[in-house]
Amino acid sequence: MGIMPASAFEGRKGEDMKIQSISAALVASAFLCSGAHADTLDIAVDSSPAGLDPHLVTAFSSVIVIGDTIYEGLTTIAEDLSVQPGLATGWDISDDGLSYTFSLASGVTFHDGSAMTAEDVAASLRRVQNEEMASPLASRISPITGINVIDDATVELSLDAPFAPILTSLAGIAIVPAEMETDKESLQMTPVGTGPFMFEEWVPNSYIQLAAFSDFRDSSMPKIDAVKYNIVPEAATRQVGLVSGQYDLLPGVDPATALQLQSASGIMMHETRDLSYTLIGINTTRAPFDNPVVRRALNMAVNRDEIIAAALYGNGVPAGPLSPALQNWAMDPNAFDCYAGTAADAAALLAEAGVETPIEAELLVLPRQDAKDISQVVQQQAKAAGFEITLVNKEIGAFVQDWRNSDFDLFASANSGNPDPDGYFYRTFYGGASTNVFKYDDSEINGWLDEGRTSTDMAARKAAYDSAQAKLACEGPIVHVAYGALSTAVSDSVSGFVINPNRRLSSLKSLEVSD
């Protein structure tokens, strides 16, 4: 089995000691540092957004700014992963399950002052479905074949077949002004939604400022005047800023920083099992990765327990295709035979199949610390099986562009999950789906995913997704690596924070910040 080289551990150890010494010095002098303004929540994030259009962006760096803060959907996902009313106060479902009629909240306005009506809802859904818009969310609502505006407060959606996860899917479709229906540019830089905070300013590579929306439909919220997302690439600097009082909140804390902050005075760590996971993505149109035997061999070569220990500080569990947070759906990774393999087994499998080695490939790496660390370990592990992997590091904008264009052999990244398997599986693995950047197309998988989204029988859906998981785990276009503990560090000057497994900062509207 491959292991992280000693030099990598030594470098990490030195970095940790540096973080400890810097933090200790700042804790000792924290009283010299001024804290955040009482009415402003200062958040430190690791990178700038790759745009702010809710129908075009998928990067966590974008979603964390706009999701459930600037924008809202017809429904929303609560911290317990249940579906709750959002901009829709309720809905009626026809007996055949092919029609959903939504009643919209009254008195809702966009941040530009215009009233939100059913036409804005209809335009938003059409915008996502528009092929020219090329929204990565399109597959989430592809069963919607009819959008009928009944009146300003009522919209009816027609389906071509029963669509079990429709209410979950609609939570991820932000409602935007109708005039944006064919506009691909404006919302990327100047978002306009109905959420509790409105966009105020974006200074590239410095910060993004949101202001409380005074006309938010719930007059008791938000409870703070502003949210400032400070772009701070270095984890040590973010940690130091939180301890000193410069920042109030660090979302999605990496395992190394989480370990350091566990014992920090005045800091509370919030943790939950993450719906998202780390992965190695595979372009199935590039030989020899078009061969499922090669994909199985790569899965065998990757020792997930070793990666979790070396790159994630033990903070995680081996990943199957679904998060263990989805207790009614996820299979135990021990059920996947390729996970029990070794690098030697992988090399033997390749030899038996007549695949020439070494297999040379480039691995595009997401500019995030866990992805970088995982890539280094995978590189070493895969080498023992006959894979010669070269790591390619790019900034987030270039990474996203290559990802969207399927311009990669392999990539290391993180993928978001969903409370319903369809919300992740269909858009990712169905042939031609909106985020199937792997160009993967398998008739069996397509059939199971069709069954999973159209069946109204829970047992039938479970059986379909079990079959899909078993095949995807070893021969799909993704090496599922680990589900970590999602950690957010919050200053004790902040009250009311609740962590959400979907990584959205849903509770910002109810936070309070004190001196």
Over residues 349-359, the mean pLDDT reads: 97
Rounded to an integer, the average pLDDT of 59-76 is 93
* pLDDT at 406 > cutoff 70: yes
* pLDDT grade for 254, boundaries at 50, 70 and 90: confident
Q: Are 305 and 369 in contact (CB under 8 A)?
A: no
Q: pLDDT tens for residues 474-493? A: 999 999 999 988 899 999 99
Out of 139-153, 400-414, 501-515, which region has the weakest mean confidence (pLDDT)? Answer: 501-515
> Which pLDDT value is given to residue 501?
84
User: With 0-12 CB in 10 A as exposed, 13-18 as middle and 19+ as buried, what is 331?
Assistant: middle
> Residue 500: is its pLDDT beyond 80?
yes
Per-residue pLDDT for 5 more than 60? no
Residue 12 has pLDDT above 70, yes or no: no
**What pLDDT is attached to residue 26?**
36
Residue 11 to residues 6, 235, 280, Cα–Cα distance (Å): 9, 15, 24
Among 53-57, 178-182, 367-371, 491-495, name the one with the lowest average pLDDT.
367-371
pLDDT mean across residues, the chain: 90
Beta bridge partners of 273: 485
Q: Is 34 exposed, middle or buried (0-12, 13-18, 19+ CB in 10 A)?
A: exposed
Is the distance from CB of 82 to CB of 74 less than 8 angstroms? no
More confident residue, 34 or 422: 422
Is residue 176 very low, low, confident or very high in pLDDT (cuts 50, 70, 90)?
A: very high
The secondary structure of residue 147, as a DSSP letter, is E
All structural domains of the chain with their residue ranges: 7-51+195-272+489-513, 71-189, 277-483
Q: What is residue 58's predicted lDDT score, i.e. its pLDDT? A: 82
Task: Give the model confidence (pLDDT) of 282-322 as tens digits.
Answer: 999 999 999 999 999 999 999 999 999 998 888 889 999 99
pLDDT-derived band at 207, boundaries 50, 70, 90: very high
Whether 62 shows a pLDDT value over 50: the answer reads yes
Examine the pLDDT at 34 and tell me if it is beyond 50: no
Per-residue pLDDT reduced to its tens digit, 357-366: 999 999 999 9
Distance, in Å, from the CA atom of 287 to the CA atom of 115, rounded to the nearest integer, reads 53
Return the ∠ at Cα 325 (arms to 324 and 326), rounded to 5°: 85
CATH of domain 71-189: 3.90.76.10
Contacts of 128 (CB under 8 A, 6+ apart): 55, 135, 137, 138, 140, 141, 173
Name the CATH architecture for the domain at 7-51+195-272+489-513.
Answer: 3-Layer(aba) Sandwich (3.40)
Overall average pLDDT of the 209-218 stretch:
96
In the predicted structure, residue 195 carries a pLDDT above the cut 60:
yes
Q: Can you tell me whether residue 99 is helix, strand or coil?
A: strand
Fold of 277-483: Dipeptide-binding Protein; domain 3 (3.10.105)
Instruction: Give percent above pLDDT 90 in the chain.
Output: 76
Mean pLDDT to the nearest integer, 506-510: 93
Predicted TM-score (pTM) of the model is 0.76
pLDDT for 275:
79
Whole-number pLDDT of residue 485: 81
CA 243 to chain centre: 27
- The number of residues making up the chain comes to 515
Q: How much is the pLDDT for 451?
A: 95
Please write the tens of the pLDDT for every residue from 417-438: 788 999 889 999 999 998 899 9
DSSP 176-217: --GGGTT-SSHHHHS---SSSEEEEEEETTTEEEEEE-TT-S
pLDDT at residue number 378 = 97
pLDDT digits (tens, 9 = 90+) for 69-88: 999 999 999 888 889 999 99
Residue 214: which residues within 8 A CB-CB, separation 6 or more? none
